């Protein structure tokens, strides 16, 4: 029954319910406690463990009812539609015997066992439906049934013809029931698989090739990606049971015991909330990926507790307040066009952007601050102000530069990227979400 519950969780995720591994384990324990005998008790128990909001509880109920719904064989309110012309005979194949006996329960069990053996829960595409129908029918014993029908059809006697006719009708009805069952399972499981495939496709696609319709899905992908940054840094770790002895803390803790060490204390690392400053280029030279960069910036502001956001072209402006005021679509339009922000969309000037930051916001950078720069470093042959980037590198915790261009293009024409590299803790190409994932992983590993 554990596999039944795991398949249900897959179906629930496909319907839009977020379920963590710990919640899956809670559901397993709940099912073990209440059992599977009472449908309503099981439903209420699993709903309490897996559905967190009113909307998710509605989704859960619909998915649960569909997953545990009766198939065409097992519905007690539905009479058997399979003809029973005569009683089964000893030489009949197992499927022939079940059809002629009119045993719907055995038909249902046979179909579900064949579906389980063929791993129907892994169905991905609608083009696989007919394949699974054939495999399940074969697993139920269709070949034996076909042989029996062929053998009976050769015999010219009336009783055998009647028997063959009953089996042919039963075979047609069987095909329809299995087809309906596969359709039902496809609606449950294919959504989750399709979502995973599409997400993987978008992660590997070049950002410059993204279409407008993909941005909402990309927003969800990026939001899930950056959320662990804040979650990880927000934790206050418990004192470790092993590690270096904290002598001062040990002495303080054991004063009451007259210096006898009953409670040794160990050194631990405290993880502070992330402190980030992000500078994002929105000039025409990065026009094809600027929307993605702003989408990433918007997601960071949603998920990271302490972040200051800036955009620049010919000058630099702070836009942190914009993310709280507008939804993602409205915010991205305003940011790209600089609506009401005082942004000058002329020639790209990284030097001026750095000078603006130094003059107005340098105090935002402390020894705990990660400075993240999103841009191609193409400066139209102006002063790159590498000295200011060096200052940010010294004052801050680290400087990370994400460049949408491939490294072979760094330093070509008006690109100042190679001049900036000595002052970057990490500089990476960022032309797909896969590239971005590596940077997020770096942020999590280095704390």
pLDDT in tens, 306-343: 788 899 999 999 988 887 788 877 887 788 777 788 88
In tens, the pLDDT along 339-364 reads 788 889 889 999 999 999 999 999 99
In tens, the pLDDT along 272-294 reads 566 889 899 988 888 777 777 77
Q: Strand 426-429 vs strand 369-374: parallel, antiparallel, or unpaired?
A: unpaired
Q: Would the pLDDT of 210 be above 70? A: no
Q: What is the pTM for the complete model shown? A: 0.55
**Lookup: tokens for 283:** 């000039």
Mean pLDDT, the chain, rounded, equals 80
Q: Would the pLDDT of 73 be above 90? A: no
What was the pLDDT predicted at 123? 79
Q: When comparing pLDDT for 56 and 85, which is higher?
A: 56
- In three-state secondary structure terms, 136 is helix
How far is CA 172 from each of CA 131, 133, 146, 208, 398, rounded to the nearest angstrom?
17, 13, 12, 52, 69
- In three-state secondary structure terms, 242 is coil
Name, in order, each residue with C-beta under 8 angstroms of 383's C-beta and a sequence gap of 6 or more: 351
Strands lying side by side in the sheet with 316-318 = 316-318, 306-312, 275-281, 369-374, 398-403, 426-429
- Of 85-99, 178-192, 196-210, 347-361, the one with minimum mean pLDDT is 196-210
Measure the CA dihedral 192/193/198/204, to 10°. 120
Q: Provide the percentage of residues in the chain whose pLDDT is more than 90.
A: 20
In tens, the pLDDT along 248-267 reads 888 888 888 777 777 888 77
What was the pLDDT predicted at 237? 46
Residue spans per domain, the chain: 2-68, 94-195, 275-446
Q: Would the pLDDT of 26 be above 50? A: yes
305/215 Cα distance (integer angstroms): 23
Domain 275-446 class in CATH? alpha beta
**Lookup: tokens for 130:** 């007919």
How far is CA 130 from each of CA 61, 137, 178, 179, 260, rounded to the nearest angstrom?
29, 11, 10, 8, 76
């Amino acid at each position: 029954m554990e596999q039944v519950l795991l398949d249900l969780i897959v179906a629930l995720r496909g319907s839009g319910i977020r379920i963590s591994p710990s919640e899956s384990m809670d559901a397993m324990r709940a099912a073990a406690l209440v059992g599977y005998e009472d449908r309503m008790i099981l439903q209420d128990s699993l709903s309490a463990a897996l559905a967190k909001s009113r909307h998710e509880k509605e989704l859960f109920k619909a998915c649960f009812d569909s997953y545990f719904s009766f198939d065409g064989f097992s519905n007690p309110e539905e009479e058997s539609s399979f003809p029973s012309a005569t009683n089964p005979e000893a030489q009949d194949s197992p499927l022939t015997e079940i059809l002629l006996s009119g045993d719907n329960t055995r038909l249902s069990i046979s179909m579900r066992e064949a579906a389980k053996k063929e791993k129907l829960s892994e169905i991905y595409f609608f083009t696989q439906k007919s394949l699974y129908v054939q495999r399940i029918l074969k697993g139920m014993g269709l070949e034996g049934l076909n042989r029996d029908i062929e053998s009976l059809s050769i015999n010219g006697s009336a009783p055998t013809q009647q028997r063959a006719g009953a089996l042919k009708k039963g075979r047609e009805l069987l095909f329809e029931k299995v087809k309906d069952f596969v359709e039902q399972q496809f609606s449950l499981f294919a959504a989750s698989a399709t979502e995973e495939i599409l997400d993987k496709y978008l992660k590997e696609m070049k950002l410059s090739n993204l279409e407008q319709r993909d941005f909402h899905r990309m927003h969800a992908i990026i939001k899930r990606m950056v959320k662990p940054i804040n979650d990880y840094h927000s934790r206050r770790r418990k004192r470790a049971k092993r590690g270096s002895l904290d002598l001062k803390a040990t002495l303080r803790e054991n004063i009451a015991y007259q210096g006898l060490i009953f409670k040794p204390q160990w050194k631990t690392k405290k993880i502070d909330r992330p402190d980030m400053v992000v500078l994002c280029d929105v000039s025409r030279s990065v026009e094809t990926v600027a929307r993605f960069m702003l989408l990433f910036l918007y997601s960071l502001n949603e998920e990271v507790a302490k972040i200051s956001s800036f955009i620049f072209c010919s000058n630099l402006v702070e836009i942190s307040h914009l993310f709280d005021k507008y939804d993602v679509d409205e915010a991205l339009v305003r940011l790209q066009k600089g609506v009401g922000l005082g942004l000058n969309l002329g020639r790209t000037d990284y030097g001026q952007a750095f000078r603006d930051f130094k003059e107005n916001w340098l105090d935002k950078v402390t020894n705990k601050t990660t400075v993240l720069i999103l841009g191609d470093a193409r400066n139209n042959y102006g002063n790159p102000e590498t000295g200011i980037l060096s200052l940010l590198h010294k004052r801050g915790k680290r400087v990370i530069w994400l460049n949408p261009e491939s490294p072979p293009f760094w330093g070509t024409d008006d690109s100042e990227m190679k001049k900036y590299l000595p002052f970057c803790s990490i500089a990476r190409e960022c032309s797909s979400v896969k590239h971005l994932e590596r940077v997020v992983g770096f942020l999590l590993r280095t704390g």
